[in-house]
């Protein structure tokens, strides 16, 4: 197929301004020309803020028993509260997205950090279980706004052919936060009160605020805020900004929905891996120390880091290769091809060996440590292409597209963290891992469909939506 044929497949809405589906738009931004040092500082700042938020979402997995003992409840209740935090994270952009539009992206970003800090302090000071759960869940409503805004900021500084690498480094925050949370928690509760974990989170969010004020306050390209096009009373404008339709409307595109579902199914595997180690170590290996369960998270943490860095660079490489094949035409869906090996080989193999090795008592403790590393690496290598695709497939609706992804992603994360341990108790680690692998295969199939036909799906929706002349 020639270049002209492929160009004919690009969405017709690219000729409109603004267009929600200009997937092949070659965006230009003044931020592309700033110094490498400034770009690195922007990546580090946005990544660390996201790390602090993600750290808080899982930090109490290793301390559930200690919290339950203090409040006179069960570890399942504490884990359910952590699931509530994850679910709230998926909804955070329905709150902070409109605030970003009304107040400005940077003001909203810094305010979100302040609010997260205050709710974390309140949770640390909670006198009873009810207050603890309420403030923990309220802290979750700040979570994924950092993910969305961080990627939107990066898109202002990095062109498409290097954006995957920048996103990979940014994702270090999103991927290291979840395993570092229970790792640090396991160490902390071995020696001091579990409340110290929350005070560590407070210190992290305060540092994130300082970095944001110093690094993001100016630059070659400040984030470009969407302009309001509606008329009428200011209150109506505010109500329109808070309408969930701003996020839901991008889900009319099948390629967006398919990749959102793929992210959700992949997140199930990620949080099934993160939420169960202490339970597995106690029930299968009689290792009751929270310190040991915390140190176990070094394995998935290393896998997450390696996977996201390699995955980001490989997705950029894949895009460049397909640009050459198409004589210079870039399609965002091409970077989804970079994750095929992870979807269909690395994650399934590592997950099945992890689960059934534990179930059959093969390989001792070394086997789950090694396989958890490879499973985590595969998960994040697959995520690297998915996340970058969602950030660039709708240039004029980037924030809404990323937000729609996080709704499903964190809904599945919450389900996995809430039910993984009961499933293991009911059917065993092996079958639980098999379920995760089946979901990964389904997600991989959705990515294949999008990689092959994503632009056609987009074009069909645009044709139906375009005014008839």
Per-10-residue mean pLDDT of the chain, 469 residues long, equals: 41 38 48 79 90 88 89 88 90 85 84 95 94 94 84 77 74 83 90 94 94 71 45 67 80 92 95 89 86 90 88 87 87 90 96 95 92 95 88 80 88 92 93 96 96 90 71
Confidence (pLDDT) at 24 = 40
Distance of CA 88 to the CA centre of its chain: 13
Nearest to 179 by CA among 53, 272, 54, 301: 301
| Rounded (5°) CA angle 444-445-450 | 95
21 inside domain: no
Question: Does 265 fall in a domain?
Answer: yes
In a domain, 437, yes or no: yes
Question: What's the pLDDT score for residue 101?
Answer: 78
**Confidence at residue 30, expressed as pLDDT on a 0 to 100 scale:** 63
Residue 28 pLDDT: 61
Residue 217, pLDDT score: 63
Residue 280 exposed, middle or buried by CB count within 10 Å (0-12, 13-18, 19+): buried
Q: Count of domains in the chain? A: 1
The residue range of the domain holding 291 is: 34-219+244-464
Per-residue DSSP letters for 127-155?
A: SSHHHHHHHHHHHHTTTTHHHHHHHHHHH
Q: Tell me if 232 is assigned to some domain.
A: no
In a domain, 5, yes or no: no
Helix locations, 393-428, DSSP H? 398-427
Query: What's the gap between Cα 262 and its chain centre?
Result: 12
Assess if residue 292 is contained within a domain: yes
The rounded distance, in Å, linking the Cα atoms of 374 and 352 is: 11
Residue 22: inside a domain, yes or no?
no
Q: CATH code at 68?
A: 1.20.1250.20
* Residue 3 placed within a domain: no
Specify the 3-state DSSP secondary structure of 219.
Answer: coil
């Amino acid at each position: 197929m020639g270049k002209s044929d492929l160009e004919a497949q690009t969405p017709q809405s690219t000729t409109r301004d603004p267009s929600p589906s200009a997937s092949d738009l070659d965006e230009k931004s003044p931020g592309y020309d700033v110094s490498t040092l400034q770009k690195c500082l922007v990546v580090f700042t946005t990544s660390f803020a996201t790390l602090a938020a993600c750290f808080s979402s899982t930090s109490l997995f290793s301390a559930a028993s200690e919290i339950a003992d203090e409040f006179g409840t069960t570890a399942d209740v504490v884990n359910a509260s952590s699931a509530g935090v994850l679910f709230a994270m998926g909804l955070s952009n329905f709150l902070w997205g409109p605030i970003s539009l009304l107040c400005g992206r940077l003001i909203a970003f810094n305010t979100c950090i302040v609010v997260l800090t205050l709710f974390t302090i309140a949770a640390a000071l909670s006198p009873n279980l009810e207050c603890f759960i309420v403030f923990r869940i309220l802290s979750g409503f700040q979570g994924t706004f950092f993910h969305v805004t961080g990627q939107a900021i990066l898109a202002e500084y990095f062109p498409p052919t290097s954006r995957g690498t920048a996103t990979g480094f940014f994702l270090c925050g999103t991927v290291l936060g979840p395993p570092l949370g229970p790792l640090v928690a396991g160490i902390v509760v071995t020696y001091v009160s579990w409340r110290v974990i929350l005070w560590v989170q407070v210190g992290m969010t305060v540092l994130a605020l300082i970095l944001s004020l110093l690094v993001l306050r100016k630059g070659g390209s400040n984030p470009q805020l969407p302009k309001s096009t509606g008329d009428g009373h200011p209150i109506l404008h505010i109500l329109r900004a808070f309408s969930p339709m701003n996020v839901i409307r991008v889900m009319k595109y099948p390629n967006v929905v398919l990749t959102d579902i793929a992210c959700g199914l992949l997140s199930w595997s990620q949080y099934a891996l993160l939420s169960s180690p202490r339970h597995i170590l106690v029930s299968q290996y009689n290792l009751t120390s929270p310190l040991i369960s915390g140190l176990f998270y070094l394995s998935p943490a290393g896998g997450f880091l390696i996977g996201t860095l390699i995955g980001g660079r490989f997705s950029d490489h894949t895009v460049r290769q397909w640009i050459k094949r198409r004589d210079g035409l870039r399609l965002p869906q091409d970077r989804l091809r970079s994750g095929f090996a992870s979807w269909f080989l690395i994650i399934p193999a590592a997950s099945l060996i992890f689960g059934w090795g534990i179930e059959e008592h093969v390989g001792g403790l070394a086997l789950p440590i090694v396989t958890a590393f490879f499973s985590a690496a595969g998960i994040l290598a697959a995520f690297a292409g998915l996340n970058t695709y969602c950030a660039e497939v709708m240039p004029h609706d980037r924030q809404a597209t990323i937000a729609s992804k996080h709704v499903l992603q964190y809904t599945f994360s919450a389900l996995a963290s809430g039910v993984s341990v009961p499933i293991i108790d009911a059917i065993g680690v092996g079958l639980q891992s098999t379920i995760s692998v089946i979901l990964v295969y389904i997600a991989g199939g959705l990515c294949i469909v999008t990689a092959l036909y994503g632009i056609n799906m987009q074009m069909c929706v645009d044709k139906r939506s375009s005014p008839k002349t």
